[in-house]
A = this chain, B = another copy of it.
Amino acid sequence: MEDEKITTYLQENAAKFEEDLKALLRIPSVSTEEKHKPDMLACAQEVVRQLHEAGIPKAEIMPTPGHPIVYAESEQLPTRPTILVYGHYDVQPEDPVEEWISPPFEPTIRDGKIYARGTSDDKGQFIIHIKAAKTLNDLKMMPVNLKFCLEGEEECGSPNLDNWIRAHADLLKSDVLVISDTTMYGPGKPSLLCGLRGLTYIEVEVKGGDVDMHSGMFGGAVPNPINELCRIIAALHDEKGRVTVPGFYDKVRPLSKEEHEEWLKLDFSEDEYLKMVGSKELCGEEGYNCIERRWARPCLDANGIWGGFTGEGAKTVIPARAYAKISCRLVPDQDDKEIAELLEKEIKRLASPAVEVKVTFHHGGPPWMTSPDDPVLRAANVAAQKAWKATPLRVREGGSIPIVSTFTSVLNVPAVLLGVGLEDEQIHAPNEHLSLENFHAGIAASVYLMQEIAALPEMKK
């Protein structure tokens, strides 16, 4: 009965929801470009308008040292659980604009997909929760308290969000964090993202002599910082593809039998993956398959290296210095700061006494993972199953969304990462789009998620 009401409402309002999405998409809220500052404000105002219209009267534009945050909350009833929704209303620049089939800020529907900058990342995703709120409010069936934190600086690295969250921890107090800013495992495959890798990123400088030297006159007798840097980087892996830094794996949570088996069932093709990557073979840590290596195992990569003569032709120099940028992807329960320290210590231990090594810490962030038994995951599972009529996949991602860790650790809440994007939707590229099927299923899923969370015995107040 209730479900039927919801289904009918969603059907009757589908066109309106698409129009509201288009209204957001028409505003070029490119956060990295100064000229779009008025558009950023206009976009925040449009978000506020839609929140108001969804029956959330307390919606406001809160300043930060950069672009403002839209914060909103419904009436907070003490008997209900509170869901905090995070999203971002800023978008990537549209360049190269000539490669767009339809203009980036004129939303256009083709083949069941809506094309415009920000469709998949993230306007078309966070809006589903506003429309779910409208649905439940209009139907007078809202079972939860809602809070929204929608920032305008995600595409420039969220420079102000961390501080803002810490400064507003009381305001943001909630029972569960919901984010839709990721992708589904594939079309028709709703996915619950249960883990993200963390990161630690360092820069290494190796100094040999005081100045560049002639390799003829000096070669063979003086330390060569490039050779030395290579020796250090090479020594950070063993022949089994494992990182040799002492203590590196100490806190790595072993992959559970359940996840291992569930991931084996994903129809992942190493051949297709290899084709996409374009290398001759895949590689990695012995004893793990390709998915496990990216989702559940830490790794170490040099991201940049430079030193000596890099122009055309030949110059016989032994440079004074060589440099590398090295990062580790981390998994629970590794600590990014601890790994950075272990790494620095090992690099310095490996270095020849003939050279000086300087290690600089760039940035990092902890890994994040939900417990597979977390009740909110159970709720999300039911919601996604109902919306997409398919068993949701429990997946992880190899990258990092640092803000997830900040939110969950500051607020001490579990998170549901319910992405409705698809991997090939060209985010950050021309012709970004979003499947309208997933857009509407997303709204339904958000409605059901609110209901399921409210129904959880663990959430009873």
Contacts and interface: CB of A to CB of B under 8 A. Distances in A.
A352 B199 contact: no
Interface string A278-305: 1111111100001001100111111111
A218 B294 contact: yes
A310 B304 contact: yes
Q: What bracket does the count of chain A residues touching chain B fall in? A: 35 or more
A356 B279 CA distance: 8
A228 B307 CA distance: 17
Contacts of A323: 310
A233 B227 contact: yes
A244 to B, nearest CB: 12
Interface string A157-190: 0000000000000000000000000000000000
Contacts of A400: 216
Interface string A312-330: 0111111110111101010
Contact of A279 (B222, B237, B305): B222
Given A220-B299, A233-B227, A399-B217, A304 B281 contact: no
Contact of A316 (B231, B285, B303, B355): B303
Given A303-B316, A309-B325, A325-B309, A234 B230 contact: yes
24 contacts: A199-B216, A199-B316, A209-B278, A210-B277, A216-B398, A222-B277, A223-B282, A224-B301, A226-B304, A227-B237, A230-B231, A234-B234, A279-B354, A279-B355, A280-B355, A281-B352, A283-B354, A304-B308, A304-B310, A304-B315, A305-B307, A306-B306, A314-B363, A316-B327
